[in-house]
Amino acid sequence: MTPLLTVSNLSRDFTKSLDMVAKLLNRLGQNYREEVVHAVDDVSFSVFKGEIVGVVGESGCGKSTLGRMVAGILPPTNGQVSFDVTQAKNTDIPDALRTQMIFQDPFSSLNPRKRVIDIITEAPIHHKLIAPSEKRAFATEMLQRVGLDPDTLERYPHQFSGGQRQRVGIARALAVSPEFLVCDESIAALDVSIQAQIINLFVDLKDKFDLTYLFISHDIGVIEHISDRVIVMYLGRIVETAPIETFVKQPNHPYTQALLAGVPRLEVGKRQYEPISGEIPSPLSPPTGCHFHPRCKFATPRCKAEKPALREIAPAHFSACHLNDEA
């Protein structure tokens, strides 16, 4: 089977520029240098048509940066993202519109000066997917798709609740008939009851419109519920990827095991939940070898010296851990 989307050796660096004090001290003979953050470090994976692939990891691991590169919002420093247009269900839309992104904060992602009818129809009209005369009928259909009352077309974003604003953001993304949606913490800013409604909406839209998702979240419970396959990231690198059943029942990488050990389970009863030891290292100076080794209770001298390769340890199950070589 050919992947719908392929990410190959994708990297993104950010340079921390010198401030005025450092520049002045350099003129006086000091040797301050600009620092580079490797936000995403040589990441490769594929997503097949109709899949929901979850991306998990602690804050600062590069999930959102990866999502923005996949969506075409942020250019990569190295590597590429390729989309198999031969699998597209709609050949009339521009390639740049095939992947859309739904953001974490629905309020800041919507133009507060525009009415909902204009927010939803701006891109379709600009790209000549619909005629201006079809504006109201089209916006009405989009709102109905996401479960909003068409009577709200003339409202502004501040007149909606958080869950309603996120539905408007989803309607805006669907308006250009995308094939692939990147959901970046799309329910994190919502109340728990509203989160469930939006998750169910994502699933319904996937089935109805044959969508494919890259679903980014720090909430492993949500990832378990919605994903077919999971990618685990740590400090810009993929450390494990597995089908959801394998991810939950047979996690391989010590970091994945530590993440899952901290998830509350109703069936477990009373237990002590241990957070992952230590702090996340600074991305400005990540550890050598395996980035996780300073926090890993199984670490060996090899982990400190050598970067582990992401390799297949079971069908469709990949892990980047030197311990697999000793098994």
pLDDT in tens, 216-269: 998 898 999 999 999 999 999 999 999 999 999 999 999 999 998 877 766 656
Q: pLDDT band for position 92 (50/70/90)?
A: confident
Kindly report the CATH number assigned to the domain that includes residue 9.
3.40.50.300
Least confident of 45-49, 108-112, 279-283, 285-289: 279-283
Per-residue model confidence as pLDDT tens digits over 169-201 = 999 999 999 999 999 998 887 888 888 889 999
Phi, psi values for residue 111, rounded to 5°: -70, 115
Phi, psi values for residue 209, rounded to 5°: -115, 15
Q: Output the CA angle 106-142-50, nearest 5 degrees.
A: 80
More reliable by pLDDT, 97 or 45: 45
Q: What rounded mean pLDDT belongs to the chain?
A: 91
Residue 322 lies in a domain: no
State residue 267's pLDDT score: 63
Residue 320 lies in a domain: no
Residue 83 lies in a domain: yes
Per-residue model confidence as pLDDT tens digits over 116-125 = 999 999 999 9
Residue 317 lies in a domain: no
State residue 273's pLDDT score: 65
Per-residue model confidence as pLDDT tens digits over 262-298 = 777 666 566 666 677 788 888 888 999 999 999 998 9
Q: Which residue has the tokens 């390639």?
A: 95
What average pLDDT score do residues 12-39 get? 86
Residue 309 lies in a domain: no
* Sequence-ordered list of residues with C-beta below 8 angstroms from that of 28, at least 6 positions apart, any chain: none
Whether residue 303 has pLDDT greater than 90? yes
State residue 270's pLDDT score: 63
**How many domains does one find in the chain?**
1
Q: How many CB atoms lie within 10 A of CB 46?
A: 18
Output the six-digit token pair for 142.
């989009």
Structural domain for 258, as ranges: 5-280
Residue 44 lies in a domain: yes
Residue 248 lies in a domain: yes
With beta carbons less than 8 A apart as the criterion, state whether 316 and 46 touch: no
Whether residue 43 has pLDDT greater than 90? yes
For CA atoms 54, 59, 61, 67, the dihedral sign is: positive
CA–CA separation, 274 and 155 (whole Å) = 47
pTM of this prediction? Answer: 0.91
State residue 8's pLDDT score: 96
Residue 150 lies in a domain: yes
CA–CA separation, 281 and 237 (whole Å) = 13
With beta carbons less than 8 A apart as the criterion, state whether 252 and 220 touch: no
CA–CA separation, 253 and 251 (whole Å) = 6
State residue 241's pLDDT score: 97
Q: How many CB atoms lie within 10 A of CB 263?
A: 14
* Sequence-ordered list of residues with C-beta below 8 angstroms from that of 212, at least 6 positions apart, any chain: 4, 5, 47, 48, 49, 50, 51, 52, 179, 180, 181, 206
Dihedral-angle region of residue 4 (phi above 0 means left; psi in -120 to 50 means alpha; beta otherwise): alpha
